[in-house]
Amino acid sequence: MTGPPRSTACRSRSAPPAAWPSNSTDRPKRQGDEVDVGFIGLGAMGSRMAANLAKAGHEVTAWNRSAVQPPEGVTMVDTPAAVGRAAGQAIVVVGGPDDVDQVVFGADGWAEGAAEGSVLIQCTTIGPSPTRSLAARLAERGLRMVDAPVGGSTVPAAAGELVVLAGGDAADIERVAPLLDVVGSKTVHFGGIGAGSAVKLMLNAVLLAALETSAEVWAWLSETEPDLKVDQVAAALERISPIVAKRLPDVAGDPPPAGFAIRHAGKDVRLVLGEAGTGPVLHALHDALRTADDGGLGDVDIASLGEAARRRRG
């Protein structure tokens, strides 16, 4: 690519809200940016992201641990190494740090097949320390990495409206921008490798703590004020916490079948505790998520924290 790398911290397909860095540049999807791309992990998030890349005209070669029906336009191969041989850049969206290590460096891993200079776009939530270690090990092999966890769950993933929380070299992020601009509506460059992963853990921890608090308080309110309407309370919450206001009806009622599962949320809080070391709120949140998981809610959306809170009250 000619010219110097962009210096902007935030790039979006539309003007960013005030909550994101103001030094932003609009970046529409462009014709002629179609490239070959590998994809590792076709779960709830990955399958939707890969589908959007194929729809945008990219040649997508994918691998998944278990047999799946691939999205239209996605070619499946037998190993992550074959993904590495098929394209100079690959996206990985799997379960956690150990899974990433296995698909990248394990037998027939991506690094085994990738050509020197290839770029791994690491979108799994694994935390900053494993992210920096992963990038260092790849660099020893002449491979590059972009730290790129995403904000949003399955609905924005399907719509191509995720927020990419990027860390790494600006030139590497610019190189893979045509791919990031498909899976997300906005890419925010927070700093070096690990910065995006650190921000992702903070965002998830804050969201989960807010939802757990709303679940506990609503469980009490629904008993003491049975005529209270959830939509009125949600409207009152709009100015304080728009995301909690949006999710409160799900917390108060039946959670959606898909989204951000309790089990994955618990993994993310454990990652925060592993990095931060302590924190009474984080420990309490971890216990609440573990109780919900043990109670059979592990595969249900995080809004099921509401059901868990109601169960605790009997």
Q: Tell me if 151 sits within 8 A of 203, measured CB to CB.
A: yes
Strand-pairing partners, residue 98, are none
In the three-class reduction of DSSP (H, G, I as helix; E, B as strand; rest coil), residue 105 is classed as: helix
Active site residue 200: yes
Strands 150-151 and 162-167: antiparallel
- Per-residue burial over 195-217, b = 16 or more CB atoms within 10 Å of its CB, e = otherwise: bbbbbbbebbbebbbbbbbbbbe
State how far the Cα of 90 lies from the Cα of 32, in Å rounded to an integer. Answer: 19
Backbone angles phi and psi of 12, in degrees to 5: -145, 160
Q: Which of 55, 200, 246, 267 is catalytic?
A: 200
Place of tokens 């085994």: 112
SS3 content of the chain, % helix, strand, coil (to 5): 50, 15, 35
**CA contacts within 13 A on the Cβ side of 109:** 14
Q: Tell me if 17 sits within 8 A of 65, measured CB to CB.
A: no
Strands (E), 71-148: 74-76, 89-92, 119-122, 144-147
State how far the Cα of 303 lies from the Cα of 262, in Å rounded to an integer. Answer: 8
Q: How many residues are given for the chain?
A: 314
State how far the Cα of 170 lies from the Cα of 160, in Å rounded to an integer. Answer: 22
Active site positions, annotated: 200
